[in-house]
Structure 1
């Protein structure tokens, strides 16, 4: 809904009722349910109350009341949409006012909301109505594409539209319509008279007079007489119509209001006139055919001018047709009308109506579609041939490559330009990123390091960057931290967007950085969308007024969130998030908004230069930066580690900082999962437990009840045994962190789930020569062709692979499951760390499974924590299909390089 008016207490409900033989939209008070009045504020309410009442009482919709106290004005254009297209005269009004526009309830009209005052009280003529008080408008929320989503101030524009539509008073003091919908019987509309007079042999003289140019005449009075003489021919001697048209010209002035002067001038213009314009059909010609010919010729001329002006016609990566004009891509939709109007005025000094514009744009679009030329369009940033191209403003692009950056004017990539995008200043070399501390108050050096690395790598559009999630108490500057990033690299108006499933993707597509401010919660669809925006989102929706055309959205975006608490406990969102905490700003150190942003504007060019300096060095250092392991969002992790290197913190420090973030996120996910909490409590006094899914579901319900978890109201609790394993799978990696492994086995009778504790520091009890056949199934992870021996259920170790692999296949993981005795096993937990403990490489071979108790140089140098890192690297190799022994050996081979 429209944010500008949503908080005003000027809303009513309405429903269709038959009044005087026609369907009327009758307003009702949301609270009392009685008839509402557009002049009685007690019958109005808030938007939220109106929506609730409409749903509860079955009203047909809600409406907004215009009052004398607000600065809002509404225009209602009826029956202007036919066959899915807006009539030209209405489209011209929509484009000139350029404010929030939506489709009316009937689907055949439009409502335009703007900020302006009417010169007089409510007005109505034909299909055009305009009001600023004492009336209510139905609000549908069906926003008209390519129009602003906010209500804009348009006083001057409204006055111009009113002059064209209503004109001034005629000879009898009544208003007269002067646009295309009205014409005199058997003649031409006022707009058509002006067009034809402008195209006549003496059209140049007419156009000059119409524009108010009196340079060819000795006095303004002679110019008035000359224009009235020309109008007399086209108006067939109609004095009232001559007056009405004259008032629309630039010659109209206060003197024309003198009745004696006006009457005398028109009388002189008509004196001696014997020839008047006769419509084509009166001369025996087919008027419709003549009109079509004239329209075709004008459209063709406009197309010819456009083809001469464009550099190329092409389609973007989604198949949308565009024209390249002066190096800027222009969409061949209604967005190109301004360019086409300018061409027509440049070539012929005349305006062009919406019908001709639509014809020309459609023809040019066909040329683009069949040209076979495809160009990719970007928003703000593009990665091309190993370098970053970052657009400061149209025609100003920063190219960042390994070790250097420069501003270029001939970038090999094209950028989309939306009205909401604001320009960035030219970066200045020699700045320092330490100035960032002036604007934010992070809780520790770790968060400052990660925040800095995130800010520098944010400009890279080809990698999946984590969601920056700023949390903290009230007064900690969370919104300021998000705005700082937004204004730093992607200033837009507005800065933040709202979560609305109808148009969120469109808003996200029109920015490089998507900001959501002060989020206390997040619906499921929004959490899914955030995850897809990080890794790459693609979606489509039906194009308005079409049956089988799509508008395609495909993008990867940086996402900024802030709130007092983390707005979601979803593991997939937290797994893609960088959570930083801000301290409350002491009152003595708090700055005013004006002072803070004034200082930022002053330092912005130097900060931007420092960012590009650091990023250029990071691009040069990245190939030489080695990580012992890669975090989630591995591509971004490599760039962030390179930033740590060039800033002197070291790549391994990045892994340490990131691990602390991951641990906090894992704990948050565990705390938010009632199933995980119940399993941890259930396994406190057990080493292993196997039960059918239905039985385990009941047992966990009893535990949950003891923990105070509501199994009926908590949406995250599985309502049946069928959903239990799905919920367990969501937290399997986190359960493994606390030493609990889960697996599932489908038998002929039921699905069994096994929960098993495993030690975090054990070693194998296996010895060479023992057979696997007399041992329980190992919790180790193997390829189907591998086998393990002599492993206890409490151990994570695997040893003694036999040659009869098919006979002794162990269970698989993540879809790589083995089959044993006709029973399917699915094990998806991380193996225990003990068996994968780091040891000297000379003690390991493809056939040796004896684990050494000695600790290698890595462990001595880095302590137990680094052994955990080694174990996780082994686990990743195992997950990719390698046997555990070979994975350990592989890690040891690269030990010197890694550590």
Structure 2
């Protein structure tokens, strides 16, 4: 029996002790604590050692943080209904602190999930109303009182109830995305619900009037309904970490640029890297946060200037909506809400088919891109939709090429290296010599690069900046390497296009020689 099922069994057992006598203490706090322990409340701690209560109310089990407002209201109501005595502010604080201490000291710990989770070879999706959808190779079903414990947060909205025989493609009626990118969007929506895999960062850009914000609002509504449909970029690390902890999907809206530190943290939050609480807070407790969140960003111009984040991105350009195709937003959202049960049901139908495919061995990609887990799941989704895995892999490959082009264009040092090596096969020298050599290029380009915030101001930063776009330069046939075992340390740049030309020329010469005999 799983930990989650044990919680339900234990809660049922404690509910059945309704007729047990409450031990009356000398104070209202003792009465309230004893009532909580003997009546309807099961206490446990989560993976962060915070106290939670599970109790039966309105026909279902609820899970609430002991120090949260919802549990406070429930406890006050319970005490009044049972012993007709109110809990004053001080008594409530003492009662909650006592129950928190009991929950944290108990040897009962359960992981709380956010929106999706695996359990016994089934995928569970939280509907936000204490029900969840169980999805496996046999089909999908809405389950009351699921065995998986999900967090309930104040900003979350209940999800629309999905219907059978839906159609995921109905989402395409509401977005202005190119036909070539449609397969990428459809696979993204399905793979978004798979927990615990590294995730791509969705990057949306386009002109004013291209409905970038609306696009994110629709995705958020399908994946992770919330009162906070889109978010501004938070530069405070503590607040950003709070958002990662409280949202399964985060869509940052209307950004003009990415600070390096925020870019790094978003990359880490998508791929499962760790954040230590000790770095963020002033107390002595230490907890390592590990996220694999769904994150998107949008802006008028392309936002990400770092190769690292671009290599993890899925890029969509939205075009301005013409007057003849434009609907009032209110009208569009009304139509979308009508279609959402079918869209969501269609996603679950596809997931069911994906699990059948995986049960039979899954799809093996011949070439593994950087986001290999994501690409494999997406190829299986494309197959499950009847589109064929190759349609996805071809579209994804083109998107990666777009990522590389954008990464090179966004990097001032990459632009400098490519222009510098345009007519050279090989160059070797120090960082200082590289900066000196650039001064021989046209002054307008050098001036433009030097005004960029990421331009290396000193020789020691030259290789650090080149290293950030090393992979992208390699895809553009420029190899960059660094020898730190010699003094002075040397940067080596090799333009493979010259080698290709030379090889082709040698092959032609050999062919001509053979043809004369």
Task: Report the TM-score, using the length of structure 2 for normalisation.
Answer: 0.85
Partners of 1:446 and 1:539 in 2: CA distance: 37
- Please report how far the alpha carbon of residue 315 of structure 1 lies from its aligned counterpart in structure 2 after TM superposition: 1.3
Gaps of 5+ in 1: 1-293, 764-793, 796-833, 835-899
- Counting matched residue pairs gives 473
Which of residues 342, 347, 350 in structure 2 aligns to 1:611? 347
2:51 corresponds in structure 1 to 321
1:592 corresponds in structure 2 to 328
- Please report how far the alpha carbon of residue 468 of structure 1 lies from its aligned counterpart in structure 2 after TM superposition: 1.7
Partners of 2:289 and 2:484 in 1: CA distance: 41
Q: CA, structure 1 residues 403+755, in 2 after alignment: closer, same or farther (shift >3 Å)?
A: same
CA contact (8 A) 2:258 2:305 kept: no
2:229 corresponds in structure 1 to 495
2:17 corresponds in structure 1 to none
Partners of 1:748 and 1:453 in 2: CA distance: 49
Gaps of 5+ in 2: 1-23, 507-517
- Please report how far the alpha carbon of residue 316 of structure 1 lies from its aligned counterpart in structure 2 after TM superposition: 0.7
Partners of 1:550 and 1:591 in 2: CA distance: 50
- Please report how far the alpha carbon of residue 505 of structure 1 lies from its aligned counterpart in structure 2 after TM superposition: 2.2
Query: SS state of the match for residue 643, structure 1?
Result: helix
Partners of 2:390 and 2:485 in 1: CA distance: 46
Deviations 1:232-269 (A, max 9, x none): xxxxxxxxxxxxxxxxxxxxxxxxxxxxxxxxxxxxxx
Q: CA, structure 1 residues 527+510, in 2 after alignment: closer, same or farther (shift >3 Å)?
A: same
Matched, 1:425 2:160: yes
- Please report how far the alpha carbon of residue 541 of structure 1 lies from its aligned counterpart in structure 2 after TM superposition: 5.0
1:517 corresponds in structure 2 to 253
Partners of 1:562 and 1:749 in 2: CA distance: 45
Deviations 1:299-326 (A, max 9, x none): 1110011112345322111111212222
CA contact (8 A) 2:306 2:468 kept: no
1:867 corresponds in structure 2 to none
Partners of 1:470 and 1:695 in 2: CA distance: 39
Q: CA, structure 1 residues 638+506, in 2 after alignment: closer, same or farther (shift >3 Å)?
A: same
- Equivalent residues in 2 for 1:788-827 (5 A)? none
Deviations 1:581-629 (A, max 9, x none): 2222221121112211111111111111111001111122133312111
- Equivalent residues in 2 for 1:9-48 (5 A)? none
- Please report how far the alpha carbon of residue 703 of structure 1 lies from its aligned counterpart in structure 2 after TM superposition: 3.2
Matched, 1:459 2:193: yes
Query: SS state of the match for residue 414, structure 1?
Result: coil
Matched, 1:303 2:33: yes
1:346 corresponds in structure 2 to 81
2:15 corresponds in structure 1 to none
Deviations 1:448-487 (A, max 9, x none): 1101110111111211221222222222221121111111
Query: SS state of the match for residue 441, structure 2?
Result: helix
- Please report how far the alpha carbon of residue 543 of structure 1 lies from its aligned counterpart in structure 2 after TM superposition: 12
Larger Rg: 1
CA contact (8 A) 1:497 1:514 kept: yes
Query: SS state of the match for residue 494, structure 1?
Result: coil
2:263 corresponds in structure 1 to 527
CA contact (8 A) 2:413 2:466 kept: yes
Which of residues 102, 109, 112 in structure 2 aligns to 1:367? 102
Query: SS state of the match for residue 229, structure 2?
Result: coil
Q: CA, structure 1 residues 368+457, in 2 after alignment: closer, same or farther (shift >3 Å)?
A: same
Partners of 2:229 and 2:219 in 1: CA distance: 11
Partners of 2:383 and 2:156 in 1: CA distance: 33
Query: SS state of the match for residue 377, structure 1?
Result: coil
CA contact (8 A) 1:309 1:325 kept: no
Q: CA, structure 1 residues 552+313, in 2 after alignment: closer, same or farther (shift >3 Å)?
A: farther
Task: Report the TM-score, using the length of structure 1 for normalisation.
Answer: 0.50
Partners of 2:387 and 2:77 in 1: CA distance: 55
Partners of 2:256 and 2:90 in 1: CA distance: 48
CA contact (8 A) 1:674 1:704 kept: no
2:118 corresponds in structure 1 to 383
CA RMSD of aligned residues (A): 2.7
Matched, 1:574 2:310: yes
CA contact (8 A) 2:25 2:31 kept: no
Which of the two has greater helix per residue? 2
CA contact (8 A) 1:705 1:711 kept: no
Q: CA, structure 1 residues 371+701, in 2 after alignment: closer, same or farther (shift >3 Å)?
A: farther
- Please report how far the alpha carbon of residue 377 of structure 1 lies from its aligned counterpart in structure 2 after TM superposition: 0.2
Partners of 1:747 and 1:606 in 2: CA distance: 62
